[in-house]
Structure 1
Amino acid sequence: MVLLLLGVPGAVVRFSGVDVDPIVAAAVFGVGIIAGAFLLSWAAEVAQLDVSASLAIAVLALIAVLPEYAIEAVLAWDAGSSFDTVSGAVTTETSRVAANVTGSNRLLIGLGWSAVILIFWLKRRHALDMRGEMSLEIGMLAIVTVVTLLVFFMEQVHILLAVGLIGLFIAYLWLSSTSKVQEPKLIGAAALIASLPVRWRRMMVVFLFIFAAGVIVIAAEPFVDSLVETGE
């Protein structure tokens, strides 16, 4: 309930037209995005009761980075709007989107992945062995990694490459949906939602998906604008 309420101030500030200090606005919208991310993760965890584990993991992975994608989409839109096709000059907006996407990937690969492995080792005191358990995920990751090397040689993210990567993700979703449904081990808020009657549980999951996604979409653009104003 608290996280639901934390998502409301951002929408109120955006649609009310109230003039708010950039630092305060960044905090309000940022909290809303974080709250939305938690709600989405809970909904995705509970959804594993009705879909295969592989599909749930795929959707959860997409949802986990939705706040980042929302911010990246805003920056990319601004960069595209500011680009001069005649001169081809690099604008400030273009630099921002490049810095954001490369920085987020460095954090994901350098800190995110290594943190997962480190935490697992601290808990179990042995290596994280995924052989035979996540063959589909590892296989698709290997394919996508090879495909993304084209960016280095092409020196751009061509629209056809983007379409190809999206197609690979859709194929992965389809393949993962054919896996067997396994009951997950849920804790905390996810377990509480899962304890509801089936009909109410599914309604709650759908509501959380829609509400949280709406909060993130509403807060993404003003959050970026507030950060930019704060840094100026």
Structure 2
Amino acid sequence: MSTRTTGLARRLVIPLGIVGLVAAQGVALRLSGIEPAPVVGIVMFGLAIVAAAFALAWAGEAAEVDISGGLAVGLLAIIAILPEYAIDLYFAFTAGSDPSQAQYAAANMTGSNRLLLGFGWPFILLVAFLVYRAARARKRPVDPDVSRRPFAVRLPGDNRVELGLLMIASVLTLTIPLTGQIHVLLGVVLLALFVYYLWKISTGESEEPELVGVPAAIGGLSTIARRTTVIAIFALSAAVILLLAEPFAHSLIQGGRAAGIDDFLLVQWLAPLASEAPEFVIAIIFAMRGKAAMGVGILLASKVNQWTALVGTLPIAHALGGGGWALPMDGRQVEEFVLTATQTLLGVAMLLSLRFSGRWATALFVLFAATFVFTGTEARWIVSGVYAVLAVALFALQWRRLWPTLRAPFRRALPEDDDDAGVDARGSRQAATADGPRRV
């Protein structure tokens, strides 16, 4: 066996084989028809989904050889969020014939959105901070996209596309708490925004990526072999995630019921925790590899997907299931949606400067956690008010960045010197150089 063949097996075949075997045991259990005990299902299905997420992360990095980084991140986010779509659309569809299921569709949607911002974004920043400290202690190259004092992750200028679309979608969705329903017409408009988003990120310029490990092995293949491998990994990983999302969520819910947890809370929090697992894992992988900006970018793209495509498809699924032209929301769901919408606006306001700092990550998490400690109606309105006040204050302080952010989705390109994006990018790389050489 040649040295090249041996190296390829060590760097590509063996890692893919390991994640394939881990995923296969979950698939085999699913196809066997056996209903495992809740704990067994959580472990086996959960490990399989995590393995699929690892493979997705590798393929997503390697895909940057052929497509723009923004499109690669967008595709990763779409595939990673497939479990959330599968679970939420199931509730919306069945609500068409069983109105009692409507509350679960809305609960799952609001829970997943708030989990993404309130827990996902701060956790990625925490991982990035720990990786940064470890690299500094061992005198290794640090992530070029982090700044030290105060600690923050700097995002590229093209992330203004996601921020601008989130602002527009948030304004459109204000009709939901005002009318107490999600109308099909609003769904069509949100889906159109999502399709436009996919087109927009597909037109971005492709840069030469810096690949290491398995992605480097995939990227080093011939053009046909590389593209075939990436497409196969995307397809197989998506199939595994879709196949195992339902039994994983079912195992979590069964385990929660055994522990005496209310069904509504299970649907709102435990099921999203299961369905959000792939994108969390992918983002964490990038943060651990010294690519924190890409990790935050994946969760930002996932938020765009949820706030446009997911919300937009709910009333359509409800109509296809035999319901009317709008998915109704009761008083509790209106409160939950207002809480989610105001949190979204605060998340956008925090990132207007293209910097996600530790202090704002802490604020996001504290406000998110407060709703678990104080669970009454008044508490939800108070936290919503705090979200709204902080968002308005940040928008006012950074008003000069509002128009560039709103028009970013509709510009042909975002020049690096158009705003502070270029300064942020150069500053972060200078900080990284000060701490050590940039990884190549």
Query: TM-score, normalised to structure 1's length?
Result: 0.82
Q: 1:102 maps to which residue? A: 110
Alpha-carbon distance between aligned partners in 1 of 2:128 and 2:36, rounded to the nearest angstrom: 43
Contact 2:83 2:241 in 1 (8 A): yes
CA 228–75 in structure 1, closer or farther in 2 if over 3 Å, else same? farther
CA 19–143 in structure 1, closer or farther in 2 if over 3 Å, else same? closer
Aligned with 1:157: secondary structure? strand
Aligned counterpart for 2:73 among listed residues 37, 42, 57: 57
Q: 1:158 maps to which residue? A: 183
Alpha-carbon distance between aligned partners in 1 of 2:216 and 2:87, rounded to the nearest angstrom: 30
Aligned with 1:209: secondary structure? helix
Q: How far 1:81 moved relative to its partner?
A: 5.0
Matches within 5 A, 1:18-57: 18-57=34-73
CA 66–174 in structure 1, closer or farther in 2 if over 3 Å, else same? same
Q: How many residues align?
A: 224
Whose radius of gyration is greater, 1 or 2? Answer: 2
Alpha-carbon distance between aligned partners in 2 of 1:30 and 1:132, rounded to the nearest angstrom: 35
Q: 1:114 maps to which residue? A: 122
Contact 2:30 2:247 in 1 (8 A): yes
Alpha-carbon distance between aligned partners in 1 of 2:253 and 2:236, rounded to the nearest angstrom: 26
Give the AA of the match of 2:85: Y
Q: 2:26 maps to which residue? A: 10
CA 153–204 in structure 1, closer or farther in 2 if over 3 Å, else same? same
Aligned counterpart for 2:221 among listed residues 176, 196, 206: 196
Aligned counterpart for 1:72 among listed residues 80, 88, 92: 88
Alpha-carbon distance between aligned partners in 2 of 1:130 and 1:19, rounded to the nearest angstrom: 44
Unaligned runs of 5+ in 1: 84-90
Query: TM-score, normalised to structure 2's length?
Result: 0.46
Aligned with 1:185: secondary structure? coil
Q: How far 1:51 moved relative to its partner?
A: 1.1
Contact 1:47 1:205 in 2 (8 A): yes
Q: How far 1:202 moved relative to its partner?
A: 0.9
Matched, 1:138 2:146: no
Unaligned runs of 5+ in 2: 1-16, 133-145, 258-440
CA 33–67 in structure 1, closer or farther in 2 if over 3 Å, else same? farther
Alpha-carbon distance between aligned partners in 1 of 2:176 and 2:84, rounded to the nearest angstrom: 21
CA 131–14 in structure 1, closer or farther in 2 if over 3 Å, else same? closer
Aligned with 1:7: secondary structure? helix
CA 29–131 in structure 1, closer or farther in 2 if over 3 Å, else same? closer
Q: Which has the higher contact order (CA 8 A, sep 6+)?
A: 1
Q: 2:367 maps to which residue? A: none
Contact 1:37 1:63 in 2 (8 A): no
Aligned with 2:120: secondary structure? helix
Q: How far 1:94 moved relative to its partner?
A: 4.2
CA 26–78 in structure 1, closer or farther in 2 if over 3 Å, else same? farther
Give the AA of the match of 1:124: S
Query: Identity rate of aligned residues, in percent?
Result: 42
CA 12–80 in structure 1, closer or farther in 2 if over 3 Å, else same? farther
Q: How far 1:163 moved relative to its partner?
A: 2.0
RMSD: 2.5
Alpha-carbon distance between aligned partners in 1 of 2:27 and 2:77, rounded to the nearest angstrom: 25
